[in-house]
């Protein structure tokens, strides 16, 4: 009886001192491209070239989207397809930067999110020619280390005109009377 109790205590202590780094975590096996169903392949077609190189958890995310895809209306399906095509064109650095911006936006205050939505809506309502001008201006902006366009603070007021130094310098004191 005592031996059994000591054995249980020894095992419990042994397990308590195992670091998480030594813990065995089973890998999340996700299907390769050839293992996908025809419906999944049709939905995820833009990702076909990179599918087998995606991390298992990213495959799982895309499979979840493919599962919901059939319940989406035509506009939503078109948007998903468009976004997949845009996403696949991004470099790994650009994808990382996009994920970071998304996380930052998720943590932003509600009024900030609403202001961004309003600006986006205004942008979408611009004539095509004006949107092209904005796109060209964005291409000309310096890139950050992550390879994305640096975000600049919006200009809220036009800069004040420079005032000549003579106008702002104090007047010279009068010359002493002789």
92 CB-contact burial (10 Å; exposed 0-12 / middle 13-18 / buried 19+): exposed
What value, to the nearest 5°, has the Cα angle with vertex 15 and ends 12 and 16? 85
Contact 62, 47 (CB under 8 A): yes
113 shares a domain with 96:
no
Q: Taking the model in full, what pTM does it have?
A: 0.54
121 shares a domain with 57:
no
Q: Residue 136 — pLDDT band, cuts 50, 70, 90? A: confident
The domain in which residue 81 lies consists of 27-107
Give the chain's domain count: 2
37 shares a domain with 75:
yes
Task: Pick 107 or 163 by higher pLDDT.
Answer: 107
pLDDT, one tens digit per residue, over 12-71 is 555 555 555 555 556 678 899 999 999 999 999 999 999 999 999 999 999 999 999 999
pLDDT, one tens digit per residue, over 118-135 is 998 898 898 989 888 888
């Amino acid at each position: 009886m005592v031996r059994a109790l000591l054995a249980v205590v020894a095992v419990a202590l042994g397990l308590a001192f195992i670091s998480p780094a030594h813990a065995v975590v089973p890998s999340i096996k996700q299907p390769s491209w050839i293992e996908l169903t025809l419906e999944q392949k049709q939905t995820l077609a833009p990702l076909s070239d990179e599918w087998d190189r995606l991390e298992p958890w990213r495959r799982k995310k895309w499979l979840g989207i493919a599962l919901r895809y059939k319940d989406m209306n035509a506009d939503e399906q078109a948007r998903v397809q468009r976004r997949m095509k845009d996403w696949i064109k991004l470099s790994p650095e650009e994808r990382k930067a996009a994920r970071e911006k998304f996380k930052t936006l998720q943590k932003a205050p509600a009024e900030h999110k609403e202001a961004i939505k309003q600006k986006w809506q205004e942008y979408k309502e611009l004539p095509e020619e004006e949107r092209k001008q904005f796109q060209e201006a964005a291409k000309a902006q310096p890139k950050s280390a992550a390879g994305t366009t640096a975000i600049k603070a919006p200009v809220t007021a036009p800069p004040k005109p420079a005032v000549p130094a003579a106008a702002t310098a104090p007047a010279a004191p009068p010359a002493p009377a002789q």
